[in-house]
Structure 1
Amino acid sequence: MARSNRKVVPESRQMLDQMKYEIAAEFGLNVGYGGRGLAGADTEFGSELGEVSDHSYGQYKGWGHLTSRENGSVGGEITKRLIRQAEQHL
């Protein structure tokens, strides 16, 4: 069976992208924000939590330089938060 990343609610794309970058910042991952050059903003929360990773990504923007584990941890956290929100609404 072929997988599809089609959104059931297309309007959710922006909210999911925002959540993705917020979680990456909390984890201290330097991904920039949608390639818009806000590299300093993405580690703000991670440094406050003391979770800034020891990687020296510097000029990197985007997700390609991260490991599969790092990318997967962001996706896993998105799933946990969405499930938590759904349970609270029940």
Structure 2
Amino acid sequence: MARNRNNQLVVPQARHALDQLKFEAAQELGIQIPADGYYGNIATRDAGALGGYITRKLIQIAEQQLGGRF
């Protein structure tokens, strides 16, 4: 069964910033990012740690931006 790939960015111009965040997070966690961009060989534990770290950072950024509005 084919998967519905709906992972398009709402703001396509943010791709570079998100990639930079991913590389910085991997570096801080000591996870080696594959040069070819294929993440299929990364351990599940590492992929989960990377995703969790990125999510926490994105929430932190959003909270900082929203904090100045209210």
TM-score bracket, shorter-length normalisation? 0.7 to 0.9
Give the alignment's TM-score, normalised by structure 2: 0.74
Q: Residue 82 of structure 1 corresponds to which residue in structure 2? A: 58
**What's the counterpart of residue 65 of structure 1?**
41
Larger RCO, structure (CA 8 Å, separation 6 or more): 2
Quick one: which amino acid aligns to residue 81 of structure 1?
Answer: K
Residue 49 (structure 1) aligns with: none
Asked if residue 23 in structure 1 is aligned to residue 20 in structure 2, the reply is no
1:13 — aligned with what? 15
CA distance in 2, matches of 1:4, 1:62: 18
Structure 2's unaligned 5+ residue stretches are none
> Superposed, which structure 2 residues align to 1:38-53 within 5 Å?
none
Structure 1 segments of 4 or more deviating over 4 A? none
Q: How many residues are aligned here?
A: 63
> Identity across aligned pairs (percent)?
43
Cα root mean square deviation, aligned: 2.1
Q: Which residue of 2 aligns with 1:54?
A: none
More helix by share: 2
